[in-house]
Chains A and B, each alone.
Chain A
């Protein structure tokens, strides 16, 4: 007869342990970590470029992509330290990859680490990277139906950013539907509209991150 052994352990125990270590380290160093998640082309890198140009806080960026260092190169051009992780086909970042990238950063001179996750609305929502908050990034051209179609990300995010709002007057966008669905999934999320192209909403976003940096320092 086979013997049954009770295990009752999280599948991701090893990765959650690393995420916990990173969270403790960031807490000691009083560094805010934000995990940006959105589709390929949602404007995550453009949002970061606009943020870094206007921000007073000291930042570093961890870039997750399947291939190339194009995003890290773009971030480096703003004068910000960027570390590129190539997942070589992997559809999301995991905490051990972030741990390795963090070793390349000088944590003593930082207020914020932005992680730009692999472009994907599904898998990245499932993995704890030790961040303070997941930020959902969704753009106008993707259409207003994404929150309900991808509820896992939108219901777990601490903030939801609608990007490329300068395009609304050209292609239309049902804001009521989008924000109504976000509200239904996640009443507590911070909700902002931004355009990295014309700069609208960017200062409000920077102010919000600054507020979180202040809270983290306490």
Chain B
């Protein structure tokens, strides 16, 4: 349900950069989204098509790169995919998330 808020934030920040850099029409927007961000790509696409109307990225292609959850153990260095919260090798809970939490505007393509 929060996809529309996210897309509005994407459009606002790209529009700001576009004004600063006097970019031309934007033809492609690429986002990196981690699987732990509870974002449904289809809803994001739909929200983009609606919210981008009248902006410099109206009609642009939206590319969503989905990244799987990956964790790493700070103690033994082991890394694993999936949601296991303890290290799958040594069993300790001193772990960090390497990927899966991304919510990033990766790049845009602009007409010259």
Contact = CB atoms under 8 A, between A and B. Distances in A.
Interface residues of B, number: 33
For the complex, would chain B's binding face be called helix, strand, loop or mixed by DSSP majority?
mixed
A152 B36 contact: yes
B70 to A, nearest CB: 14
Interface residues of A, number: 33
A4 interface: yes
Interface stretch (B2-10, B49-57, B73-81): B2-10
Contacts of A92: 1-2, 5
For the complex, would chain A's binding face be called helix, strand, loop or mixed by DSSP majority?
mixed
Interface string B67-103: 0000000000000000111100000010000000001
Contacts, number: 88
A171 interface: no
A11 B109 contact: no
Contacts of A186: 85
Contacts of A126: 2, 37-38
A3 interface: yes
A122 interface: yes
A10 B85 CA distance: 25
Interface of A: 1-15, 90-92, 94, 120, 122-123, 125-127, 151-152, 155, 184-188
